[in-house]
Amino acid sequence: MEQAGLIRAHLFVSGRVQGVGFRYSTVGAARTIGGLSGWVRNLDDGRVEVLAQGPRDAVDQLIAWCRRGPPSARVDALEQSWEAADGALPPFEIG
């Protein structure tokens, strides 16, 4: 069931994004932005995967943050897709 007013973004972040605190920093950014649920995790291929759900403005802010990442990271690419929001995600965490 889609929830009114919420959107969900599925992101894949490439570059130097593992071993540089990217996941922890993403959780911090999501909590600072507020209103977001979802998770962030490392993938075996070296990318970081992010699933974020919340109000459009909050999701857009997190996407903008993921495009640059923490100071120790180097983001080379960000793949983004949109999915139906269903309210089934936990408070933002490392998955």
Return the CATH number at 54: 3.30.70.100
Q: What is the pTM of this model?
A: 0.94
Q: Which residue among the candidates 8, 16, 23, 31 is catalytic per the annotation?
A: 23
Tell me which residue range forms the domain holding 78: 7-86
* 56 a catalytic residue: no
39: number of Cβ within 10 Å: 20
Q: Tell me whether residue 2 is in a domain.
A: no
**pLDDT tens per residue, range 16-60:** 999 999 999 999 999 999 999 999 999 999 999 999 999 999 999
* 31 a catalytic residue: no
Q: Which residue among the candidates 16, 41, 42, 47 is catalytic per the annotation?
A: 42
